[in-house]
Amino acid sequence: MNKIQMKTPLVEMDGDEMTRILWQRIKEELILPFVDLKSEYYDLGLPNRDATADQVTIDAALATKKYGVAVKCATITPNAQRMEEYQLHEMWKSPNGTIRAMLDGTVFRSPILIDAVHPAVRSWEKPITIARHAYGDIYKNVEIRTQEPGRCELVFTGESGNKITKLVQELDGPGVFQGVHNKEASIRSFANAVFTYALSVKQDVWFGAKDTISKTYDGAFKEIMAEVFEDYKERFEEAGITYFYTLIDDAIARVIRSKGGFIWACKNYDGDVMSDMVATAFGSLAMMTSVLVSPDGVYEYEASHGTVTRHYYRYLKGEKTSTNPMATIFAWTGALKKRSEMDGIKELEHFAETLEKSCLNVLNSGIMTKDLVMLADPACVTKEVLTEDFLRDIRQELEKNL
Ligand SMILES: NC(=O)c1ccc[n+]([C@@H]2O[C@H](COP(=O)([O-])OP(=O)(O)OC[C@H]3O[C@@H](n4cnc5c(N)ncnc54)[C@H](O)[C@@H]3O)[C@@H](O)[C@H]2O)c1
C-alpha cells in the first residue's frame, strides 16, 4: 500500500511517562504504517528539557509559529518531588504555560462522546467545547488581609502622571482586599482566537460575564468581544453560526438545559471551574481533547490529561496497563486534519477521519479500557482490554475502513 505523502512538517512534541510510551505505540501502530510522516521532532521529555535548559520548549513553540500546526504529548510540570526524582538543575516552568504565552493562545477543550457513557446531564447530546481566557483576573491578583480598622484604596497612575483614586472600602475591623486586572490586548486576542476557532469548526459561540454587577470590568469583556465580533459577523452569517452574549448565571442555566454542540467562551475563573464540571459530566478526563489556538490561526493539539504517572510506575515494574489512548490519538488526528486542510491533502483528511471513526466503532462495539468500563453502561461493555490490545483492535478496524 502506498503511504500518504505530506507537504509541510507537523511539529511533533514528545513528552513524559506513560503518555510517552503511548505516543510511540500510537505512531507505530496507527500512523506510520499509513502516512509517510513528515514531522519536525522536539523532545519535551523532562530529561531533555533539563539538558537543554528548557530551550527545546522555546524551539518547539517557534517551530509551531513557523509551520502552523503542532501535536504535543503530555509533559511533567516539575514540582519539588520531581526535582529530586529527575535530579533537575532547575524547577522548569510548565511547557504548556511557555507555549501558550509564546503563541498568545486560547485553549479549547472538548469531550469525545461514545454511546456507552451517558453524560450526567441528560439533555447533552453533542460535545460542549470550553474556551478559557487564560490571562489575568484572580490568577494575577494582589491580596491584602488586615488586622485593624482602616481604608483601602485603588490607585492608578498613568504614564502621563494622571491619577485615578477610588475607595475600595473603609472597614471598622479586620478584613480582606483583592486587586485584579486584565489587558485589553489579551481580551482582544481571546476574542479573535474564539471566533477563528468557531469558524473552523462551524459552531456557535456563547459568552457570559457579570456586567450588570461589574459594569466596568466585566463590561469591558462584553464590549470588546462584541467589537471584535463585528469583523467576523459576515463570515459567521455565511457559515450559519451565531455569537450569543448573556449574563454568566443565565449562560450556566442555559448550558445545563442545552443539547450541547457549541463553544462556551469563559473568563479565566469560569473556564477553570466549568471545564472540570463539563469534563466530569461528560465522563472522563481520558476522553477530553485540547487545542491551543493563537489569534493568527496557529494550532497545537494535545490530550487534556497528564502523563498518567501511576500507570507508568506499573509499566516500569513490567506490568501491562489499560491506559486510555483516545485523547492522544485524537490529538494526532486533529493535527493531521488541520495540516491536510492547510495543505489541501484530501487523502490525509480521509485517513484522520477514518482513524477517528475506527476508534469510535471499537468503543461502541463494547471494547474499552478500564477507566471507561468503570463509567459505561454495563449493558454496553463486551470486553475490558489492555492498551496494546485496544490499539490492535483499532488498527484492524482502521484497515477494514480505509
Ligand atoms: N497537558 C499536560 O501536559 C499535563 C496536564 C496535566 C498534568 N500534567 C502532568 O502529568 C503528571 C500527572 O498528573 P496528574 O496525575 O494530576 O494527572 P493525570 O491526568 O495524569 O491523571 C489524573 C487521573 O486520571 C487518570 N487518567 C488520566 N488520563 C488517563 C488515561 N489516558 N487513561 C487512564 N486513566 C487516566 C489517572 O490514572 C489519574 O487517576 C504531573 O507531573 C503533571 O505535571 C501534564
* Cα(156) to centroid(ligand 1), Å: 42
Q: Which residues contact 237 (CB under 8 A, 6 or more apart)?
A: none
One domain for residues 101 and 4? yes
User: Judging by DSSP bridges, how do beta strands 288-293 and 106-111 pair with one another?
Assistant: antiparallel
One domain for residues 63 and 152? no
71 lines ligand 1 (CB under 6 A): no
Q: Whose CA is nearest to atom 28 of ligand 1?
A: 286
- What would the mean pLDDT of 30-45 be, rounded to a whole number? 98
Q: Whose CA is nearest to atom 21 of ligand 1?
A: 308
One domain for residues 313 and 388? yes
- What is the pLDDT, as a whole number, of residue 105? 83
Structure confidence at residue 285 as a pLDDT band (50, 70, 90): confident
Q: Whose CA is nearest to atom 37 of ligand 1?
A: 308
- Label residue 191 exposed, middle or buried (CB < 10 Å: 0-12, 13-18, 19+): buried
Given a cut of 80, is residue 1 above it in pLDDT?
Answer: no
- What is the pLDDT, as a whole number, of residue 41? 98
One domain for residues 133 and 255? yes
286 lines ligand 1 (CB under 6 A): yes
Rounded to two decimals, the pTM is: 0.90
For position 37, which CATH number holds?
A: 3.40.718.10
- What would the mean pLDDT of 60-89 be, rounded to a whole number? 97
- What would the mean pLDDT of 189-211 be, rounded to a whole number? 95
Domain count, the chain: 3
Given a cut of 80, is residue 334 above it in pLDDT?
Answer: yes
| Pairwise CA distance, residues 393 & 385, whole Å | 10
One domain for residues 322 and 245? no
* Cα(169) to centroid(ligand 1), Å: 43
One domain for residues 242 and 124? yes
Contact 67, 300 (CB under 8 A): no
One domain for residues 199 and 164? no
Q: Domain range spanning residue 235?
A: 118-139+183-282
For position 241, which CATH number holds?
A: 3.40.35
98 lines ligand 1 (CB under 6 A): no
* Cα(18) to centroid(ligand 1), Å: 9
Residue of 56, 63, 12, 41 lying closest to 298 (CA atoms): 63
Candidate of 285, 287, 290, 291 to mutate for ligand 1, largest count of ligand atoms within 8 Å of Cβ: 285
- What is the pLDDT, as a whole number, of residue 134? 82
One domain for residues 127 and 110? no
* Cα(79) to centroid(ligand 1), Å: 15
Q: Which residues contact 276 (CB under 8 A, 6 or more apart)?
A: none
One domain for residues 224 and 128? yes
